Amino acid sequence: MEVISTLLEMISSCEHTTKILSEIQSNKDVNFEIGCIKARLVTLIPILESTERGLRIKMSDTMNAFDEGSAKIVEVFDKLEDRALSLWNVLKINDITENRNKYWYQSFLDIKLELMHFSCMLLSIHALIKNKESLKFRVLNNFLRCYYESIDMKSEVFAKVIKEYINTYISDFESYMNIATNIKFQTLKVEFYMLEMHASILAHDISMAKYYEGKANLSDKVEMFHRDTIFNLCRSLFNDALQLYKEDKIDDAFYFLERCFLVMEKLQIDKEKPENKIKVSTLIMLIKCCIKINSTESIEKAEKLIKYLSINEHKKIEALKLELEMIQQRGKSPKEIDDDLMKFVISVPDDANLLKHLRLLFNSFADRYPSTSKNCLMYLFANKINFQHKDFKEVAESYLISMIWIITSKLTNEPTDSLLKYTSLTLEMGDKKIVSELSIETSNSIIVMLFSAGRKCMKSECFVEAIRWFEFCTMRMFNNFQKEEVLGKIQRSILQCCIETDNYNKFESCWKSMSFESHKNPLSMYYRFKVLLKSESENTNELCEILDNFGKVNNTKVIKLLALCVIDCKEIETHSKAFKEVLSKAMSRLIDKSITIGDNADLSLVVVALRSCFLINGKNIESGIDIEKSVLLINQSVNQFLSMSKNDSLLPDKEWFACQCYNHGIHLLGVDGAEVYAIELFSNCTKLIDVEIDHHNINWYCKAVIFKSICISRVLKSGSKYNNRSTIDCWKEILNECEKVNLLIKGVETFDQKEILIQCKVTQIESLVELKEYEKILAVLKDSLLSKGKYSTQDITEVDFLMEKLLEKNRDLDFGHYSEIKQLLETVFIEIGCSNLEINSKQLFKWLFLMVSKLLEYREFEETLLNVIKMFKEHSDSATTGRVTATEIGWLAGVCWNHGISCIMDNKKSDDSLNNLDLGNNTEDSSILDDDTNFCAIPPSKEKQPSRAMLWCETAISVSEDQLQKSHMQKLLLQLQS
């Protein structure tokens, strides 16, 4: 009764499990339920195993352990069988292929083996209790299925457990039945051996696999077993051998395939039945193994088997494939292989189906032996195809495709001339032999291959050869099915190659053959534009029309073509005025639309186009042609470029644009009245250089700022306005720009930067002079010069400029700032000049010359002049180098002497005027003769004028180095004084 109780518990668990598995499709908690089942099996299976062992022992003691007369016990046994079989069946249902992608399937796999084991154990207990042979066979069969699943799922532990039960049942059967005559038992036993063989192969234990295959001994069981059973076992044997072949274990695969083929031969399967496919597959794989083993014996065997395959199995195509494979495998030279294959194809019958398969074979063969494959296909095409028969039409076209495919894509080591020759021969042969029109598919396929070959030549810059490839595409045999757009694309490729090879005659010929629609294609128009431009055609109307049409379209592709047109125009030198006007409009439109081209891949094209605009307009500037319009277009180009140059990759282009702006600005500096345009160009240069990140171009930035300031100063000095701003504001702007430059390169050491700094100071001083900021000028000079301690000739450039600027002949002295100017001049001459021995006398004389020439007529500066002349004399006398010439000293002495004499003469004229003054008869009032000069109409000369004149004369005598001149001056001075 204890066993019955256990069985009832097992039946209940089995029912519950079967119910869950039956509803697994709709069960949302399937993972939880399966987890519960797994947990129960951990407890139930050991109990089942213990119960089964106990019953097996008990049944061996007495064959009638249970009283089956009890209806309740019978009911339990029947229910046990029914529930176990239900569980087994539901496991098979859930394991079908359609369920393997379901969300629950993986969870199901986790318990499948345990449930199969559980069901087998229940059925085993039932069979032991019933003690019927048929039931035991059923259990053994189920255990074999369970063993197969455990092997397939690579569960070694579980397979070991199941294998023990199988061995137990086999031993049990062998102990009491006549196993030699029991076919059912023999069948199950052989299946077990085959499973063991399969497991050994998976475990890479080939020797054990061969052992179990020998134990199974299928070839001796052919007459004993049912044909289906033998066939299924052979299929398993074939699959295992195929796996070994895939693992490159050719010898082992050959062993099992040979055993399989022997069994299949004995079966004598009807060739029309599906089962014969396994036999043919086995034979083919056996031949492949022989070919791969590649020994003398194996090749001989392969040849026999190939003949068998062709004659006995009527598989001529497969036999031909294997024969080709064997030729390829045997390691012969290409010449020997070529000879063997030609012998092979000569013997091929003219069968359409066979020729189809041969084409596929030679296509695959072309990877290693393209030339041989081409020759074989050409032979078959020329000699084995019946072009008059409709069954061969598709074959003929497919052969034509394959030959062109091999020529254009596989003969990579052949020269292009040879490929063109093969192609020409193939197409001519096809044109002559194929009597009906090619299908659209065939025509398109061949054209695509020919066109691709042409494009490949273009990439290699073999444009002459490319033209020939493209011309093949226009042959008569293809024209009937070519769409206009396809033909236009081919013709445009020919046009492009003609341009590259300067073959304008062929270009014109192709152009005339094109349709009106193809002429209007933007790319065709662009190629036409290039040819007209290159040939310097007088037909400028067509050039203008193309440019004008491109400029009116907003399509991105057309804008790119417009950019290319402008790029091409950068080299032109001579064209009509009308064309240049249209080109100017086109450039303006291109600049406006270039931002719409967009993606980064086209950014370089836009930049090149803008560069071309720049170059064209730069040439106009240098030639003096329409400077205003050219500068305007350059401005637009720069602004457009700046709007898109957000990444570092365009930094070289930025430098190029900045350099061009600078150079053209320098050119305009030398053109009268062009300063306004030069200002624009220098402004563009400064916009293109970001001094915060582009440190190595700071010098160019500073130069552009300075030259821009120079241009503005020229405009202002000419009396014109700049940007409708006041003159003072403009000078202040110049001053601010100079201060920025000063800050950027202050404290530098390079010669170039020192030069920039000097020019900056000069421009700064000019602005301060114009703004009458004399005190600031002094500060600038002291900052620039005095802080250095000593000066070279180059260091005083700004001082030279200051003196020249202040003492310009045409410049009125600003007497409102008399004291500041006087202090400035004294500082320059005395503190900077005379106190520094590095500044030679010639430089001092230059400054003195400017001062004397400008200031001598102003009495306010006489004291300053006399003082600086004295300082100059002292400096000159002490100088050892850089002395002034005698002529220059003579000039200075002469100027001083003449000025002194002039003062004396002016004084005498004043005295004579006073003596001749009509004072009337009233002489009583003598107050007019008093010494009080405050009431004199003309200052008396006896006190001041003579002393002033004498100072100049004495200065002249002291300056003069000519003793004769000195003596003459002294005598003349004494005479004048007397």
Give DSSP secondary structure letters for 706-774: HHHHHHHHHHHHTT--BTTB-HHHHHHHHHHHHHHHHHHHTT--SHHHHHHHHHHHHHHHHHHHHTT-H
Tokens of 932: 């009080």
pLDDT band, very low/low/confident/very high, at 166 (cuts 50, 70, 90):
confident
Q: Answer yes or no: are the C-beta atoms of 198 and 236 closer than 8 Å.
A: yes
Predicted pLDDT at 465:
96
Residue 32 has pLDDT above 70, yes or no: yes
**Spatial CA neighbour of 899 closest among 977, 954, 944, 965:** 954
For the chain, the structural domain boundaries read 1-131
Residues forming beta bridges with residue 725, ordered by sequence position: 722
Predicted pLDDT at 921:
39
Region 778-797 average pLDDT = 60
772: left (phi over 0), alpha (psi -120 to 50) or beta: left
Q: Across the chain, what does the average pLDDT equal?
A: 81
φ/ψ of 257, rounded to 5, equals -65, -40
Q: What is the 3-state secondary structure (H, E, C) of 77-93?
A: HHHHHHHHHHHHHHHHH
d(CA 949, CA 862): 11
Q: Answer yes or no: are the C-beta atoms of 597 and 646 closer than 8 Å.
A: no
d(CA 89, CA 93): 6
Predicted pLDDT at 576:
67
For the question of whether the overall pTM of this predicted structure is more than 0.85, the answer is no
Task: Name which residue leads in pLDDT, 799 or 188.
Answer: 188
- Give tens-digit pLDDT for 930-958: 333 332 333 333 344 457 788 888 888 88
- Provide the residue type at 586 as one letter: A
Q: Is residue 666 exposed (0-12), middle (13-18) or buried (19+ Cβ within 10 Å)?
A: middle
Determine the 3-state secondary structure of 273 from DSSP.
coil
Q: Could you tell me what percentage of the chain is helix, strand and coil, using 3-state DSSP and rounding each to the nearest 5?
A: 80, 0, 20
Residue 838 has pLDDT above 80, yes or no: no
User: Picking from 184-193, 695-704, 750-759, which range would have the lowest pLDDT averaged per residue?
Assistant: 750-759
> Helix 556-569 to helix 603-623 angle, to the nearest 10 degrees?
40
Predicted pLDDT at 790:
47
pLDDT band, very low/low/confident/very high, at 60 (cuts 50, 70, 90):
low
Tokens of 814: 């600003």
Task: Name which residue leads in pLDDT, 367 or 31.
Answer: 367
Determine the 3-state secondary structure of 295 from DSSP.
coil
d(CA 608, CA 605): 5
**Per-residue DSSP letters for 362-393?**
HHHHTTT-HHHHHHHHHHHHHHT--TTSGGGH
Residues forming beta bridges with residue 722, ordered by sequence position: 725
